Chains A and B, each alone.
Chain A
Amino acid sequence: MRAALAIATVSYRQLLLAKRSYLLGGLSLLPAVIMYVGSSKMTDSRAFEFLHEGPSGVLIIAVAPIVALVLATSALGEERRQGTMSFLTIRPIPRWAIIAAKGLATWAAVFTLVGTGGLAVSAALGLRTGNWETVTPMLVMLGINTLIYVALFVPLGFLFKRAMLFGLGYVFIWDSGIANVPGLSPLSIYRIGLSAYIGILPESARFLEEPLGNVTPGAGGALAKSIVMAAIGLLAMTTFLKRRDLV
């Protein structure tokens, strides 16, 4: 337990203190700036619509997956590239605990950046209109989305040198493109988070359901899906680390 905690703490610090994280942090705050500046002369209801037409869409469709992709692919990938993987694995720690600690730290780092962006964009609406009801759903949505992205991108970063390319392909070709086909929408990560967001917001916000396609709104289902995805990612990586050589 102490060892897993050490891995999680060190990894979290390493991911957040890297120079690129300052850039990613700035990127995460960009939607809030757009929201605050763009809604300055809007009515309350128009500002609420504007949040969902622009800034929050940018945050969940582009910023969150990009931040997750950059940090998650480097979490184990960098250990492998710089040869420090053996520093972790030649220890009295089960492989699943190493992966779980790494995954948890990565999710926490991604959520720190993206969650701050989400909090800021909701706060921008709150400051303009006094409507603070999007804060909790925004954080839940981003928490769920980033968990799934991390579960997907950490193994990707470990297995492939071109993980960033594959990840960008997934985000922009699959998630934002092909998954618009109604039958495929349940396989779209951002829609899983969005279903939680809409599920928590009051009935008056149900006009946001359109992009969901076949996905049913509800936080419980979305949370369950994200936990299952994280468990699959953990299991897959543990099995891989146990069976394959670390060369």
Chain B
Amino acid sequence: MTTPAFVADPTVEVDRASKWFGQKVAVSAVSCNFGQGITGLLGPNGAGKTTLLRLICGLASPSEGTVTVLGENLRRNPDAYRQLSLVPEEDAVYPQMTARQYIEYGARLSGLTNVADRAADALRVVDLSGSADRTLGGFSKGMRQRAKVAAALVTDPQILILDEPLNGTDPVQRAHLIEVFRRLAADGKTVIVSSHVLAEVERMADRVLAMVDGKLAAAGDVVSIRAAMSDIPFRVRIEGDHLRKLASELVARSDVAAVEVGKDAIHIEAEDLSALGRDIAVIARDLDMRLTAFQPEDESLESVFRYLVRR
């Protein structure tokens, strides 16, 4: 299948996977797959990204549907973990260990030999060699993130799962990590990166899957996701006097989709926010009214994603 949610030669396959915890549905009938290169899993907090990643990693089992990694169910065949590494969102480090001990421990857990050299290489890749013998408890959030990435890379996995890997990193570290991920993708690895920040995903992902409320909302390359977002009607709150006159003026405009008159304000849905912003002062002057507020109400990424789901 080669719809935007699917690629040829997948390494990770999700087939109508659902996951619910009691009454709460975290992932709802998601079907997609992942192959070589970087796939960004985009969505607001609580969209189900982490749960989907946990399903892929075998940390949770789907309530319905299936998830396979290189054709294997990880929960039944732990040997397949040789090909997969996870950088979890939470601070999953041992605070009393040094970065070197932590990464060497990860290598030993994967049954590797020559762990000292491998750990040194991984530390070099994430630019932590200089702090290798400091304990993780004394690291900044960004340094801990890099230590987690090094611990994931030390096993040289075919599939790398990164849950919000850039959280807490400064711009320099961020650029460096993005470069590392891009290099891995260029080497033919499958890299799945979750984030709630579109700009972050834009910088590294070749393909984007957008999730909202546990569902797959959109899929495709970054350009097409951007295009899908560009025609979202924006909701604006306007305050001032003579609001009814303003409402009747605005309702006649072709770029205004809806007008709702409230007690103290009017709420409008406009397709071109910047054009309306330019015109509203002129309209107010013509109507001899005083504007006290012109405020976009839902510019949040969450509302953008919700719009994508409704489409």
> Interface on A for B, CB 8 Å cutoff?
2-3, 6-7, 10, 14, 17, 82-84, 86-95, 242, 245-247
Contacts and interface: CB of A to CB of B under 8 A. Distances in A.
Nearest to A246: B59
Contacts, number: 75
Given A92-B81, A95-B78, A242-B75, A247 B59 contact: yes
Given A87-B106, A90-B84, 14 more contacts: A2-B108, A3-B109, A3-B111, A14-B94, A82-B92, A82-B95, A83-B92, A86-B57, A87-B109, A87-B151, A92-B80, A246-B59, A247-B54, A247-B59
Contact of B85 (A6, A90, A94): A90
A84 B59 contact: no
B78 A91 contact: yes
B301 interface: no
Given A84-B93, A242-B75, A91 B110 contact: yes
Contact of B78 (A17, A87, A92): A92
A246 B60 contact: yes
B105 to A, nearest CB: 6
19 contacts: A6-B108, A14-B94, A17-B96, A82-B91, A82-B95, A83-B88, A83-B92, A86-B57, A86-B88, A87-B109, A89-B59, A90-B59, A91-B78, A91-B81, A91-B110, A91-B111, A242-B75, A245-B61, A247-B59
A237 B17 CA distance: 27
Contact of B109 (A14, A91, A246): A91
A83 B78 contact: no
B288 interface: no
A6 B111 CA distance: 9
Per DSSP, are chain A's interface residues mostly helix, strand or loop, or mixed? helix
Given A91-B110, A92-B110, A84 B78 contact: no
A83 B111 contact: no
Contact of A245 (B59, B85, B86): B59
Contacts of B106: 87
A27 B111 CA distance: 38
A245 B60 contact: yes
Interface residues of B, number: 31
A7 B109 contact: yes
Contacts of A86: 57, 59, 86, 88, 92
Nearest to A245: B60
B3 to A, nearest CB: 29
A90 B108 contact: no
Contacts of A91: 78, 81, 109-111
Contacts of B54: 245-247
Contacts of A84: 92-94
Contact of A14 (B90, B92, B96): B96
A247 B89 CA distance: 12
B268 to A, nearest CB: 42
Counting from the closest, the 6 A-B pairs by CB-CB distance are A6-B108, A245-B60, A83-B90, A83-B92, A91-B109, A92-B81
B183 interface: no
Nearest to A97: B78
Nearest to B57: A90
Contacts of B109: 3, 6-7, 87-88, 91, 93
Contacts of A14: 94, 96
Nearest to A7: B109
Interface in B20-34: 21
A87 B92 contact: yes
A89 B81 CA distance: 9
B57 A6 contact: no
Contacts of B92: 82-84, 86-87
B58 interface: yes
A93 B106 CA distance: 12
B264 interface: no
